[in-house]
């Protein structure tokens, strides 16, 4: 039975495909949007289309950016010999917010998860190895302390070890299963300072 108009059903269907949005939330959002002034909905829709059209991956570190090379990679004052490996752009933003990390990053866009069928080729690992052909002194692995994050850290460390480049892992002051983006700056800095060689 079709309770709502086809247009609303379509909107609910699309919203429910977003991460963290269940059927109920999708319904609530759809009705909220329908009740907004038309200009606000136009602005929201336009900002989505605009972001999608103008944001791309940095060709160096694969974070999201509007240029070919992101401002961090383009900054010659940063230490390009130290690369911090994170799972996603949100984790990069969390470390960047501390203002205390002077190196550059590498964004994997995921973590290895045999359970979810995500293998080394599904994340930006080849791209990291390619970057290591340049003059790199240290790779800091700052993946989350979840099972997937630890699996990824071990995998990367085994891969890099033969190159002779120093590989470190941030300290486990970060709670297990904790997403880096939710952890406060002091904890992040402590994890970074307390990093150990793998
Ligand atoms: Zn970059």
Residue-wise pLDDT for 84-142, tens only, equals: 999 999 999 989 988 889 999 999 999 999 888 899 999 999 999 999 999 999 999 99
**Distance from residue 10's CA to the centre of ligand 1 (Å):** 37
Write down the pTM of the prediction.
0.77
CA distance 142 to 94: 11
Are 92 and 107 in contact by the 8 Å Cβ rule? The answer is yes
Nearest to 167 by CA among 151, 152, 180, 156: 156
**Distance from residue 108's CA to the centre of ligand 1 (Å):** 12
**Distance from residue 35's CA to the centre of ligand 1 (Å):** 40
CA distance 197 to 138: 10
Rounded (5°) CA angle 183-185-187: 65
pLDDT at 188: 82
Would you say the C-alpha torsion 180, 181, 186, 189 has a positive or negative sign? positive
pLDDT at 123: 95
**Distance from residue 62's CA to the centre of ligand 1 (Å):** 6
**Distance from residue 65's CA to the centre of ligand 1 (Å):** 8
**Distance from residue 83's CA to the centre of ligand 1 (Å):** 11
**Distance from residue 96's CA to the centre of ligand 1 (Å):** 12
CA distance 146 to 133: 29
**Distance from residue 182's CA to the centre of ligand 1 (Å):** 22
Low-confidence ranges of the chain (pLDDT < 50): 1, 176
**Distance from residue 93's CA to the centre of ligand 1 (Å):** 12
**Distance from residue 107's CA to the centre of ligand 1 (Å):** 9
E strand or H helix at 107? strand 103-107
pLDDT at 177: 52
Residue 118 phi, psi (nearest 5): -100, 110
């Amino acid at each position: 039975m079709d309770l709502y108009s086809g247009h609303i059903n379509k909107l609910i269907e699309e919203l429910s495909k977003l991460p963290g949005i269940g059927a109920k939330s999708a319904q609530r959002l759809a009705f909220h949007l329908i009740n907004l002034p038309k200009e606000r909905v136009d602005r929201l829709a336009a900002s989505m289309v605009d972001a999608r059209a103008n944001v791309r991956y940095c060709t160096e570190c694969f974070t999201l950016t509007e240029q070919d090379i992101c401002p961090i990679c383009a900054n010659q004052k940063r230490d390009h010999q130290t690369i911090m490996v994170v799972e996603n752009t949100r984790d990069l933003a969390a470390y960047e917010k501390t203002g205390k990390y002077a190196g550059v990053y590498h964004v994997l866009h995921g973590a290895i998860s045999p359970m979810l069928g995500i293998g080394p080729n599904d994340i930006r690992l080849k791209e990291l190895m390619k970057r290591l052909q340049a003059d790199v002194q240290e790779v800091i692995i700052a993946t989350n302390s979840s099972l997937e994050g630890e699996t990824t850290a071990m995998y990367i460390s085994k891969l890099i070890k033969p190159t002779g480049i120093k590989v470190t892992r941030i300290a486990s002051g970060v709670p297990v299963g904790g997403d880096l983006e939710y952890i406060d700056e002091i904890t992040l800095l402590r994890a970074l300072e307390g990093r150990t060689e793998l």
